[in-house]
Chains A and B, each alone.
Chain A
Amino acid sequence: MPDRRDNERELESELQDLGSRVEHPPTPDLAGAVRSRIEAEEGARPARPRIRRPLSPALRGAAAAAMLVLLVSVPALSPEMRGAVTGWFEAGGGGSAESGAGGAPESGGAAPDVETERQAPGAGLGERVTLREASAGAEPPLLLPEGAPGEPEAVYEAGSGDEVTLVYRARRGLPELSDTGIGLIITETSGDLETAYLDGELRPEAGRARVRVDDDIGYWIPAGEGSLAGRAGGNVLLWERGGRALRMEADLPKQESVRLADSLR
Chain B
Amino acid sequence: MERARRGDARAYGELVRAHQEAAFRTACLVSGDASDAEDAAQEAFVKAYRALGRFRAGAPFRPWLLSIVANEARNRRKAAGRRAGLALRVAAETSRGGENPGFSPPESAVVAAERREELLAALGGLGDADRIVISCRYFLGLSEAETAAAAGCARGTVKSRLSRAIGRLRERMREGESAG
Contacts and interface: CB of A to CB of B under 8 A. Distances in A.
A1 interface: no
A11 B170 contact: yes
A10 to B, nearest CB: 9
Contact of A18 (B8, B10, B138): B138
A181 B169 CA distance: 78
A46 interface: no
Interface residues of B, number: 45
Contacts of A35: 9-10, 12-13, 16
A35 to B, nearest CB: 5
Contacts of B21: 27
Given A15-B134, A141-B6, A243-B7, A30 B170 contact: no
B163 to A, nearest CB: 8
A38 B46 contact: yes
Contacts of A32: 13
Contact of A15 (B9, B45, B138): B138
Interface string A89-119: 0000000000000000000000000000000
Given A8-B166, A24-B88, A27-B25, A141 B7 contact: yes
A30 B16 CA distance: 7
Given A34-B16, A243-B9, A27 B24 contact: yes
A249 to B, nearest CB: 23
A140 B140 CA distance: 35
A11 B6 contact: no
Main secondary structure of the interface of B (DSSP, over half): helix
B79 to A, nearest CB: 20
A116 B120 CA distance: 75
A80 interface: no
B167 to A, nearest CB: 7
Interface string A9-35: 001101111110111110111111111
A1 to B, nearest CB: 15
Interface in B123-165: 134, 138-141, 163
A192 B10 CA distance: 10
B116 A31 contact: no
Given A32-B13, A241-B6, 7 more contacts: A15-B134, A18-B120, A19-B140, A28-B24, A34-B12, A34-B16, A243-B9
8 contacts: A8-B163, A19-B138, A27-B24, A30-B24, A31-B16, A31-B17, A37-B42, A139-B7
Interface of B: 3, 6-10, 12-14, 16-17, 20-21, 23-25, 28, 34, 37-38, 41-42, 45-46, 49, 87-91, 115-116, 119-120, 134, 138-141, 163, 166-167, 169-170, 173
